[in-house]
Every structure is written in C-alpha cells, then in structure tokens.
Structure 1
Amino acid sequence: MRIRSARPDDAPAVVALKALVFPYLVRGVASTRKMIAEPPPEVGWAGFVAEVDTQVVGWVTAQRNGSTSTADFGDINLLHVHPEHRRRGIGTALLTTATGHLAPLGVRRMRAFAQPEALPFARRHGFEPSRELRFSALDLVPPPALPDPPPGVRLRPIAEMDPQLLYAADLASAIDEPGDVPVDAMSYQSWRYDVWENLGLDKAASTAAEVDGEVAAFSLVKRDGDRMWSDYTCSVPAYRGRGLARLAKTAALHRAAANGVRVAYTSNDEENAPMLAINARLGYRPVATEWSCLAELT
C-alpha cells in the first residue's frame, strides 16, 4: 500500500470508488478530473489516493475552508476506503496525510465527515461528532407536480442569467445556513470555480425565481448521467415565506427529468427545518446519514 498525490487520470477510479461507498453522492469523471488537474483557487486544496497493487482503494481531500470568516478552519473531505481493504491502516494513513497537508496552511481546527459506522474511527483520531446530516433521494419518474408561478414571479434557467446576480443571492441566503461555521466569506473567484464553472452544473435545469428583476430564490442541479444532485436551494431573506425556494426546486427537478434524469439526491443539516419540509413535500425519502466531526490540529 502507498499513499500518493492524486493525478488527473485517477478520476475514473476515484468516481467508481466513491459510487461504491457513497451511492447517494453525485460527481462525474469530468468534474473530478478538473478538480485534480486545476484545484480550487485560494484554499490550498489537495487530493490523495491510497493504492494497493496499482488499484485505487482510498481517497481523501484536504483544504482550508474558504467560505467562512472563522480563522484557521480546514476541511478533510470524503475520506473513504474500499470495503475489502479496511482495517489495514489505510484510513489512518490517508487521515495522517490530510492533516499533514493542512498544518502548513495555518489550519488549527478541522472538520471531517463520517458515516455512523465510522464514528468510532473518528473518535479514536480525536474527532468529536458535531452535526447530523440527512441524505435524501427522489425518483423523478414522474417528477413532482409543478404549480404555476404566482403573479410577478418569473422562472428562468440560470443559463440566461448574470452569474454575479446568483453569487449575490447565494451570499445573502447562506448567511444563516446552519453549520459548524458561518458561510459568510466566499469570494466571487471561489464561487465561480465551485459553482458556475463546475463541469457537472446543468445550467439549463438549474432554475432561479426572479421578482422585479431580482433573484429571489434558486435551485442548482449538478448532474452525472441520469443522476443529479440538488447542490443548493435557497431563497434570499427578503423573499422568504412565499414558497419560492420550493417553486424553483420543483421547476429544476422538472427540467432535469425532461432531459433524462431519473433520480435526484440532496443533503441537509438536520436543523434546517425549512428545507427538510420542502423536501418532504416534494417526496424525498431519507437514504443515509453522516456526521460532521471536529478536531483540533495540534
């Protein structure tokens, strides 16, 4: 077994491994290859694989969190090992490599995510569970019923829109999103990389609800084949309570289904009651849970 930095040509193996361990996540080969070849700006991103006899059997990424004003905070994402190669020290080796990458970036407090069965591993390495996340799925054959927009509301695919307007709406809506740290400091450059220029973003299906020329709500679709991920659905605080987030998400699901998507996935913090209620009304069913886990980097 060896741990090494990821290479762009690892993308197919990384995606296949992730689909095995996390069947409720959606990220395609093209966007994974780009992430490895052209890492996110500003945050010191790095990806690492574990190999056994040239087979990729583990994966992890590490970076500073560039979306929060909380100083010295970093993320270790998608640490996972092929089920047939567990309990051999591979997960520990990947975690050690990831934390070693974070230390020179000035990170002092870090977050990782763990499935319930991995919580003992997390605790052994100094991580304590913090927040529970719910992953849900929705069959889109047929999609949920789409109501007519109320007077004064226009539904538009984001392909027709100025990304600066979506970025501003994203910042405004994320300010009170539940989480371990506030989401209050994402730069436009990072937002363009993570959202607008993501190769999996379906700009024809992703939908915004516009009121008087302003973005009141939107729902983003990231797609891989006939599977999609509702990446972010939100409404700007001034327009909340009018059902616009649900309307935008329903329209996005309809557009995705019309273009061949058969199942939609999403995730929510268990304390995000408004979005959980929207998903329940749309017919989403829970399929998995994870925990965010926090630790000090000493």
Structure 2
Amino acid sequence: MRIRVAKPDDAPGVVALRTIVYPYQVRGVESTRKMLAEPPPEEGWTAFVAEVDTQVVGWVSAECTGSTSTPDFGDISLLHVHPEHRRRGIGSALLTAATDHLAPLGVRRLRAFAQPDALPFARRHGYEPSRELRFSALDLNPAPALPDPPPGVRLLPITELAPRRLYAADVAAALDEPSDVPVDSISYESWLYDVWDNLGLDKEASTAVEVDGEVAAFSLVKRDGDRMWSDYTGSLPAYRGRGLARLAKTVALHRAAANGVRVAYTSNDESNGPMLAINTRLGYRPVAAEWSCLADLT
C-alpha cells in the first residue's frame, strides 16, 4: 500500500470507489478528472489516494476552507477506504497525509465527515461529532406532480441567467445555511469553479424562479448519467414562505427526469426543517446519515 497525491488518470478509479462507499454521492469521471487536473481555487486544495497493486482503494481531499470568514479553518473531505481494505491502517494514513498538508498552511481547526459506523475512528483521531446530515433519494419514475406557478412568477433554466445574477442569489441564500461555520465568504471565482463551470452542472434542468425581475429562488442539478445531485436549493430571505424553493426544485426534477435522470439524491442538515419538509413532500426517502466532526490541529 502507498499513499500518493492523486492525479487526473485516477479519476475512473476514484469514481468507482466512491460509488461503492458513497452510492448517494454523485460526481462523474470527467468532472473528477478536471478537478484533479485543474484544482479548485481555494488555497492549498489537494487530494491523496491509497493504492494497492495499482488499484485505488482509498481517497481523501483537503483544503483551507474559502467559503467562510472563520479564520484558520480547513476541511478534510470524503475520506473513505474500500470495504475489502479496511482495518489495515489505510484510513489513518490518508488522514495523516491530509493533516500534514494543512498544518503548514496555518489551519488550526478541522472538519471532516463520518458515516455513523466510522465515528469511533473519528473519535480515536481527536474528532468529535457536531452536526448530523441526512442523505435522501427520490425515484423519478414518475417525477413529482408539477404545480402551476403563481401569478407574476417566472420559471427559467439557468442558461437564461447571467452567472453573476445566480451567484448573487446563491450567496444571499446561503448566509443562514445550517453549518459548523458561517457560509459567508464565497468568492465569485470559487463559485464559478464549483458551480457554473462544473462539468456535471445540468444548466437546462437547473431552474431559477424570478419575481418582478429578481431571482427569488433556484434549484441546481449536477448530473452523472441517469443519476443527479440536487446541489443546492435555496430562496432569498425576502421571498421565503411562499413555496418558491419547492417550486424551483419540482421543476428542476421534472426537467432532469424528462432528459433521462432516474434517481435524484440530496443532503440536508438535520436542523434544516423547512428543506427537509420540502423533500418529504416531494417523496424523498432517507438512505444514509453522516456527521460533521470537528478537531483542533495542534
């Protein structure tokens, strides 16, 4: 076994591994390849793989978190090991590689995510559970019933929006998103990379809701084949309580289903009651749980 920096040609193996461990996480080979070839603009982003006999059996990525004003905060994301290669020290080696990468960059507080059966591993390495996330799935055969938009409401694919308009709406909607740290420092360059220029973004299915010429709500779809990820559904504070986020998500699901998507996945913080209620009404069912876990880097 060896730990090394991930490279673009690892993309097929990385996606195959993720499909086994996290079948509810949707990211295709080409978008993964691009991420490895052209890393995100956040300072210090990197990824490591664990390799056994040329097979990718483990993955982790690490970055200084650029979406928050909280100083010295870093994320260790999607640390996972193939089930047949666990309990051999691979997970610990990947975590050490990620931590050693972030320490010289000034990170002092770390967040990682763990499935419930991995919480003992997290605690052994100094991480304490913080927030629970629910992952849910929706069979799109058939898609949820499509309501008529209220008077004065316009539905449009995001192809009809200038990117900066959607960026401004995304930033405003995310300010009170439940999280361990505030999501209040998303740069336009980072947003372009992660959202608008992401090869998986389905801009025809992703839907915005306009009210009086203003973007009031939106629902973004990232796709890999016949699977999709509801990347983010939000509404601006001034327009909440009017059903616009649910309307945007319902339309996005319909458009995705009409173009061949068969199952939709999403995740929500367990404290996000309004979004969980929307997903329940749409027919989503829980399929997995994860915990965010926090640790000090000393």
**How many residues align structurally?**
298
Amino acid at match of 2:134: R
Partner of 1:237: 237
Q: Offset of 1:93 from its aligned partner? A: 0.2
Q: Offset of 1:174 from its aligned partner? A: 0.7
Q: Distance in 1 between matches of 2:237 and 2:43?
A: 28
Amino acid at match of 1:290: E
Amino acid at match of 1:123: R
Q: Distance in 1 between matches of 2:151 and 2:51?
A: 57
Partner of 1:213: 213
Q: Does 1:261 align with 2:241?
A: no
CA contact under 8 A between 2:132 and 2:289: conserved in structure 1?
A: yes
Q: Distance in 1 between matches of 2:119 and 2:266?
A: 22
Residue range with higher mean Cα deviation, 228-237 or 33-42: 33-42
List per-residue Cα deviations over 1:89-133 (Å, max 9, x = no partner).
000000000001111111000000000000000000000000000
Q: Offset of 1:44 from its aligned partner? A: 1.3
Q: Distance in 1 between matches of 2:286 and 2:195?
A: 25
Partner of 1:41: 41
Residue range with higher mean Cα deviation, 257-266 or 39-48: 39-48
Q: CA RMSD in A?
A: 0.5
CA contact under 8 A between 2:202 and 2:223: conserved in structure 1?
A: yes
CA contact under 8 A between 2:42 and 2:65: conserved in structure 1?
A: no
Q: Does 1:145 align with 2:145?
A: yes
SS, match of residue 223 in structure 2: strand
Unaligned stretches of 5+ residues in structure 1:
none
TM-score, with structure 1 as normaliser? 0.99
Q: Distance in 1 between matches of 2:43 and 2:211?
A: 35
List per-residue Cα deviations over 1:233-285 (Å, max 9, x = no partner).
00000100100000000000000000000000000000000000000000000
Q: Distance in 2 between matches of 1:167 and 1:141?
A: 31
Unaligned stretches of 5+ residues in structure 2:
none
SS, match of residue 182 in structure 2: coil
Q: Distance in 2 between matches of 1:113 and 1:42?
A: 19
TM-score, with structure 2 as normaliser? 0.99
Structure 1 segment 1-298 matched on structure 2, within 5 A: 1-298=1-298
Amino acid at match of 2:190: S
Q: Distance in 2 between matches of 1:105 and 1:281?
A: 44
Q: Distance in 1 between matches of 2:203 and 2:43?
A: 25
